[in-house]
Structure 1
Amino acid sequence: MIQKTREQFIHLFEKEPLMVVSPGRINLIGEHTDYNDGFVLPAAIDKKIVYAIALNNTQQCNAHAVFTNETVSFSLADVKPTPGWINYLMGVVNQLQERGLPVQGFDCVISGDIPVGAGMSSSAAIEGGLVAALDHLFGYGLDRMQMALIGQKAEHTFPGVKCGIMDQFANLHGKKDQVMRLDCRSLEFEYFPFNFPGYKVVLCNSMVHHSLASSEYNVRRLQCEEGVKAIQANHPAVKSLRDADMKMLNEVRDQISAKVYDRCNYVIAEIQRVQDATTLLKQGNLQQFGELMYATHEGLSKLYEVSCPELDFLVSLARQREEVAGARVMGGGFGGCTINLVKAEKVTEYVAFIKSRYQDQYGKEPEVYVTTIEEGVTVQPLAVSY
């Protein structure tokens, strides 16, 4: 893919590009905790966005997307929210401009194999790849966390999704065969080896596109804030659900709606599950780790209500199989993938089982991706021979 993207760029723009590989991400546990100042446990994976990019000495930015086979241009003097994939690029450029960093025109070709809407965060990969490329080309000297924050703010302001920091963080900080526990309040993080060679991370795509995810995501965020506001009346030091516990939540149960109570209940429990999960990783206890994943799914389905019948069905299939240590919905929800930890020698058998049963139930075949945990965004020097 890298070579083809480079060749297409040379064909379109007749110069040598900088190549940038920007990965998607998985999150083993810690869903919808990031915007509640909690903890998450993500990793970068081998599904990726690839950029071929070079400066063009104009005030015009030209981007060709291989996945839609269209070229779109915008002027640096007129960067404003625009429908479509170009919005993510413009959001990054806008954030660099807002910080007073010099941006000049560029040409780029973008390709990728991250399935859109599958919960692997293709948007963060587009943002992270561009900010890393422009940092390299203009010599801004940004560190990886600054780049992640630029990507997050770009998503807030242009597509309008009030996401937490996890996706952009994982995209830029990934390490091969390592997961990262990120404290979404302090932005401190620690690497933990995901050293289970006998198991594979298998993603099962429900083929339900999570079109509800963006609007409902913002609703969930407001519901969590409503719960915090009620708790603060008794506990002024509570700034977010990260600071709350079930005793505090139960004190205000009669003052908030049942929905708000359920949302907060889930988040408080999930923040603790991430802490428990890292202890289990250190102990090499994948079976108990997997049980926490199942508990997360139950909470996401029943309390946070971001699952759907198709995802619940996929997790129920996983529970029937002894080769699966754990499974749950991954990402914003309302569709996308389940993440499954499956014994390596049983992956082929498991995939056949899932595809057959899902086809019988829903009349469509799920896509399945066997992934590996890889490096975060990498910038490859100019004129590399492939």
Structure 2
Amino acid sequence: MITKQKIDSRFQELFNEQAALVAKSPGRINLIGEHTDYNEGFVLPTAIDKAIYVGVSKRNDNRISLFAEDFNEAHEISIDELAPSEKGWPNYILGVVNQFAIRDLPISGFSLYLDGDVPLGAGLSSSAAVECAVGFALNELFELGLNRVELAKIGQLTEHTYVGVNCGIMDQFASIMSKSGHVLKLDCRSLEVEYVPLELGEHEIVLLNTNVKHSLADSAYNKRRASCEKGVALVKEKYPEVNSLRDVSVAQLDELVAKVDADVYTKCKFVIEENERLIKACDALKNGNIDELGKQLFAAHAAISSEYEVSCKELDFLVDFAKNFDGVVGARMMGGGFGGCTINIVKKTALEEYVKSIAIAYKNKFGFELTPIFIQVGNGTELI
């Protein structure tokens, strides 16, 4: 377990001084609404009780001195010679500093220690949690006066500029804006947030980590994004008021995209219908209709697998198993795809048996372990 005492002790060991402050920023789940965020649609995420922790202190020079516990690796660079690192992990920190520099915010050298218990590669957005924890900690340390929305945007721009992933805003927003006991219905166009109570009654959420990450993930993400942009461009030729798939109807796709590019049509139609599924799921949650919520999760998985084509055989196997297990009301793949987790809504009385049965079936089928992740929903980024 990661505690403030543990971070303080490691910080002292590494940098020979005390951390001025420690911040934590959580990983996230997304109940439903996948690949909608970069299309100005809706998402339904919330923070979980697994987080990235950052200890920081000011230095007397212009050096940035970093240490990542997960990699057992240090990195140092002058703030005046800021540049992406080939190591990869420092870029989630340096990219945030670069965004501060672009805004002419007064920041000098600092020491930073990074640790966390968000499982890497599980689709729980450990990278966004790093960006938000770093941004939040440095904002406090240097008294920069940025608000949470600005810090979320800085995290997103870090991905675009220093990491090379053209991501939407959902992960950073969920990490920094979440409220315990609620999901955020986030409008990715206006950034308007509605906090919807997450009351599942006799049900519980469990994540099942496939422990696979197929190499298709990053290239497929950029390809899907390009398909969405092409669909918008085709519709915009006739309807100039259209700016994103949020403005497009299936009837317009039928009219202007279907005959030009069948694949682009299918990908765009998925996004439009995923927004509709999210609205239905949200209404079901507000009405306490957990069976209907689960139904939308199953429908979302079927569509993301066959239409958007970012699932994989391991994820499909888990959702098929869930469909046929009494006590599971809904399941789907969660995240960018090609690996990571499924999110499952399960009756508490069936949870133990379900996790045991599905793990055995998965091991028999694929030859490796399935890791259950039991989560509680929690608050967004905070000082500890």
Paired residue for 2:13, among 11, 14, 18? 11
1:104-119 alignment runs, 5 A limit: 104-119=108-123
Distance 2:118 2:78 in 1: 28
1:50 has 2:53 as partner: yes
Paired residue type of 1:350: Y
Paired residue type of 2:10: Q
Distance 1:134 1:296 in 2: 38
Distance 1:39 1:136 in 2: 30
Q: Please list every run of 5 or more consecutive structure 2 residues that lacks an aligned counterpart in the other structure.
A: none
Q: Please list every run of 5 or more consecutive structure 1 residues that lacks an aligned counterpart in the other structure.
A: 381-386
User: Does the 8 Å CA contact 2:257/2:264 hold for their aligned counterparts?
Assistant: no
What's the counterpart of residue 163 of structure 2? 159
1:335 has 2:339 as partner: yes
Distance 1:39 1:191 in 2: 13
Paired residue type of 1:187: L
Secondary structure at 1:21 match in 2: strand
Paired residue for 2:190, among 186, 203, 206? 186
Q: How far is 1:228 from its partner?
A: 0.6
Paired residue type of 1:63: L
TM normalised by structure 1 equals 0.96
* Structure 1 residues 239 and 306: alpha-carbon distance in aligned structure 2, compared to 1, 3 A threshold: same
Paired residue for 1:31, among 27, 34, 41? 34
Paired residue type of 2:109: G
Q: How far is 1:255 from its partner?
A: 4.1
User: Does the 8 Å CA contact 2:27/2:47 hold for their aligned counterparts?
Assistant: yes
User: Any idea what the Cα deviations from partners look like across 1:204-242, whole Å, max 9, x if unmatched?
Assistant: 111112432222111111100000111112222111110
Distance 1:119 1:15 in 2: 35
Paired residue type of 1:367: T
| 332-341 or 15-24, larger mean C-alpha shift | 15-24
Q: How far is 1:251 from its partner?
A: 0.4
Distance 1:66 1:258 in 2: 47
1:112-191 alignment runs, 5 A limit: 112-191=116-195
Q: Taking every aligned residue pair, what percent have the same amino acid on both sides? A: 47
Secondary structure at 1:336 match in 2: strand
User: Any idea what the Cα deviations from partners look like across 1:293-330, whole Å, max 9, x if unmatched?
Assistant: 11111111011110000000010111111211111010
User: Does the 8 Å CA contact 1:227/1:256 hold for their aligned counterparts?
Assistant: no
User: Does the 8 Å CA contact 1:230/1:255 hold for their aligned counterparts?
Assistant: no
Distance 2:107 2:322 in 1: 48
1:365 has 2:369 as partner: yes
Distance 1:317 1:289 in 2: 18
What's the counterpart of residue 355 of structure 2? 351
What's the counterpart of residue 85 of structure 1? 89
User: Does the 8 Å CA contact 2:212/2:339 hold for their aligned counterparts?
Assistant: yes
What's the counterpart of residue 259 of structure 1? 263
What's the counterpart of residue 294 of structure 1? 298
What's the counterpart of residue 75 of structure 2? 72
* Structure 1 residues 200 and 220: alpha-carbon distance in aligned structure 2, compared to 1, 3 A threshold: same
Paired residue type of 1:228: V
Distance 1:222 1:344 in 2: 41
Q: How far is 1:16 from its partner?
A: 2.2
Distance 2:263 2:299 in 1: 19
Q: How far is 1:161 from its partner?
A: 0.4
Distance 1:249 1:304 in 2: 15
Paired residue for 2:220, among 216, 229, 245? 216
Paired residue type of 2:7: T
What's the counterpart of residue 245 of structure 2? 241
What's the counterpart of residue 383 of structure 1? none
Q: How far is 1:200 from its partner?
A: 1.7
Paired residue type of 1:141: G
CA RMSD between the two structures: 1.1
Distance 1:305 1:137 in 2: 44
Distance 1:214 1:321 in 2: 32
Secondary structure at 1:223 match in 2: helix
Secondary structure at 2:46 match in 1: strand
Secondary structure at 1:372 match in 2: coil
How many residue pairs get matched?
Answer: 380
Distance 2:216 2:95 in 1: 22
Q: How far is 1:370 from its partner?
A: 0.7
Distance 1:310 1:340 in 2: 15
Distance 2:183 2:94 in 1: 30
What's the counterpart of residue 317 of structure 2? 313
Q: How far is 1:284 from its partner?
A: 0.6
Paired residue type of 2:153: L
